[in-house]
Amino acid sequence: MSWIDNLAKKSKNMVVKIAVQRYFRKYINRVLELSIDKQQQKFHVVVELKGEEKPITIDMEYEFSIIEPGSIVQAQAHSILISKEWINMIAQEALHRDFQFSGKSTVRIIKLLR
């Protein structure tokens, strides 16, 4: 990977980090780490959640599709691991289910992940 590609990847991850922090601002105090592997469709994030004393780590394999006319994102988690046990147990219930989110800002964030 050339230094230009590396710089572009870091810049894109920074934009996604800021977008995620703003989009989920009522749940997240701060995003501490964020890395995205578009090829493997995986992401790793460490966040400070409101009401939690320690940061929480989330690792997930995902699949997203965008339905443009209605600005709808269809999402499915193939695997998820969360460092906080009770949240991880709840998250396991969501595996392999289809979820739909609407809104132009949601579509913009997903396009950044691609």
Supply the Cα-derived Rg of the chain in whole angstroms. Answer: 14
pLDDT at residue 88 in the model: 94
State the burial class of residue 23 (Cβ atoms within 10 Å of its Cβ: 0-12, 13-18, 19+): middle
37-87 pLDDT, tens digit each: 888 989 899 999 999 999 999 999 988 887 777 778 888 899 999 999 999
